[in-house]
Structure 1
Amino acid sequence: MKFIMSKITFEEAKQLIDIRDKENTTSQSIKLFIRAFFCGFMALLPLKNSIVITSILIIIIVISFLYYYISKANNKLLEEFSYQLAKYVMLQTTTVSILLGIRVDGETPFGEYYVLVALCYLFLVAVLGYFRCRAMILNYLKNNGINLKGISVSKIWNKVFLKLSIILLVIIGLGTQLYRLNKWWFIGNNSSSNGISIQNEWLGMFLVLVVGILLIILLVVFSLLPTLLFNAKTITEGILLKEYATEFQQENTRSNQ
């Protein structure tokens, strides 16, 4: 991300950032504390599966909270940036906690390999989340007239992901309502004695493959739902403020004289 921002000149950065707005940022400490408490509670969901994974999630939340305080203490102009970044990271742990807290028949999924699978999943979410946020930042820059040569954004991270996110939210909403209306059917409808079976082996394998791919896509999209709340404007401005810290400090001093 720093490489991308280094391609933006200070003059272009000044067009995006109004220092006066940064000076009057309202303290977000209480809001962030409440979010940290809630996300910390959600991080307890995988506790029965692994105390290691739960500890990692809680550590991430604590680090995000501390980063906010340290960042705003060092530079008041970065208060809103550090708040938005910490908020996003905390919210990201929520969807991750929900999925990592799933148990199969009261047992830990993947057995003794659960921690390894969970760590790989966390790494994957971090990488995909980075590319999604990177695409949002580049899109924000493009909408503000800053086109970076040699850097393009795949449609997957913009239009496709947004559509998939909306579809997933609709599915979750409809699924919840259908479950409430037809709970008796889900709990157990034993009126039919014969189950559904697929006689063609190749057709069965194909259906399993398709369902598996769709399930993976839905899990990835669900994991990255917090990116919908990623504040590309504030994060971009914060990165530029850090990139040109000296220049903006001098600009701020001159404006106050």
Structure 2
Amino acid sequence: MVNRHIKMNSVSKLVDSISLKKSLENNSLHHIYETLNGTNKELFPRTLKIFVFASISWLICLFSAYNWYLFPILASVIIIVICIGYFRSSLYFKNAAYTFSVYLFTQTALIFYITSIEISDNVIINSTAACLYILFGYCLSFYIIKIKLIENVQTEYLADNEKLGKKKGTIKAVKMLSVVLMGFIVLIIAGMQFYRVNKWWIGESSSDALSGLNGTWVGMILSVLLIFIGIVILIIITLLPTLLLNASALVDGFIYKKYSEEFRKEYEFTEKEWYGE
């Protein structure tokens, strides 16, 4: 019954269940002040970094034109919407908007860069596969983000709520996925270094071995296995940007938005200090 109840809970419903008292306990004046004004440890202003991230993301997305000219247009629209969302956000939500925008820029750049890969000589097949991958990539990554947000809400704000269970299996799986993603990055770096040192003999030996398996059952099984491994690697690569998201900052932003006036009055901020210009 508890698990069924949790499955029906979205992030917004969980945030709505957090009391003002608990929200104030978890967000001190010092924490709020740093959220509004920053920590003074950043070398460049966030506005500049948003423009830089947006520009780099847009340039990378241009590669997707190899498969279909509409892909860069779609990516441009997404990037523009992200920028508008950031600049239109209130000052108290700027920190949350920033971390989410950086994640979205990175996720968008990666997804649309991968869509530039041609899997066949047929233009329609390439475009269709790319469209399906875009939908799959965003849906899967947003699901992982949702689970991370739910885990943060339950851990930081609802840990004492006995009526609310936890999606233990899913949350543990997402935590394990984060470890796998970090391990994958290390593995890629190590693999690149290994190949750089040993590429003189790897190329010759692998080509000779594979040529002898053509047309055999072992060759077919190996091909299927390689396709499966390739799909798994593609999924892992697609989810790498989820490591960039600061779930705590985003959840705090949702809390501030829910109790906007209550926080402002409690900590005696002016409307300009709280909402910005």
TM-score range, shorter chain: 0.7 to 0.9
Q: Using the aligned pairs only, state the percent identity.
A: 21
Give unmatched runs, 5+ long, in structure 1: none
Q: What are the Cα deviations for residues 158-178 of structure 1, in whole angstroms up to 9, with x where unaligned?
A: 11x123213321332133223
Displaced runs of 4 or more, over 6 A: 186-191
* Residue-pair matches, total: 248
Structure 2 residue runs without a partner (length 5+): 1-10, 272-277
The answer to whether 1:35 aligns with 2:50 is no
Structure 2 vs 1, CA of residues 7 and 109 (structure 1 numbering), >3 Å: closer, same or farther?
Answer: farther
- Is 1:111 the equivalent of 2:123? yes
Q: Is the 8 A contact 2:65 2:72 kept in 1?
A: yes
For residues 74-93 of structure 1, what are the structure 2 equivalents within 5 Å?
Answer: 75-93=90-108
* 1:225 alignment counterpart: 240
Match for residue 191 of structure 2 among 168, 175, 199: 175
Aligned mate of 1:47, from 50, 60, 65 = 65
Q: What residue number does 1:236 align with?
A: 251
User: SS in structure 2 opposite 1:44?
Assistant: helix
- The residue aligned with 1:197 is 213
Paired residues of 1:53 and 1:115 also in contact (CA < 8 A): no
SS in 1 for 2:80: helix
**Aligned Cα RMSD in Å?**
2.9
Q: Assess if the C-alpha contact under 8 Å between 2:96 and 2:253 holds in 1.
A: yes
- Structure-1 separation of matches of 2:210 and 2:166: 57
Measure, in 1, the Cα distance between the counterparts of 2:25 and 2:142. Answer: 25
TM-score w.r.t. length of structure 1: 0.83
CA, structure 1 residues 145+248, in 2 after alignment: closer, same or farther (shift >3 Å)?
A: closer
The CA deviation at 1:33 is 0.8
Report the secondary structure of 1:253's partner residue: coil
Please say if 1:128 is aligned against 2:140: yes
Residue of structure 1 aligned with 2:23, choices 4, 10, 13: 13
Shift of 1:193: 9.5
The answer to which of 76-85 and 247-256 deviates more is 247-256
Aligned position for 2:265: 250
Q: Mark the CA change 1:186 to 1:98 in structure 2 (over 3 Å): closer, same or farther.
A: farther
- Map of 2:182 onto structure 1: 166
- TM score, norm. by length of structure 2: 0.77
Correspondence for 2:274:
none
User: Given that residues 152 and 247 in structure 2 are in contact (C-alpha distance below 8 angstroms), is that contact kept between their aligned partners in structure 1?
Assistant: yes
Contact 2:23 2:157 in 1 (8 A): no
Matched to 2:142, the amino acid is Y
Give the Cα separation in 1 of the matches to 2:74 and 2:33.
38
Is 1:209 matched up with 2:209? Answer: no
Letter in 2 for 1:156: A
| Alpha-carbon offset, residue 248 of structure 1 | 2.2
How has the CA–CA distance of structure 1 residues 180 and 200 changed in structure 2, closer, same or farther, with 3 Å as cutoff?
A: closer
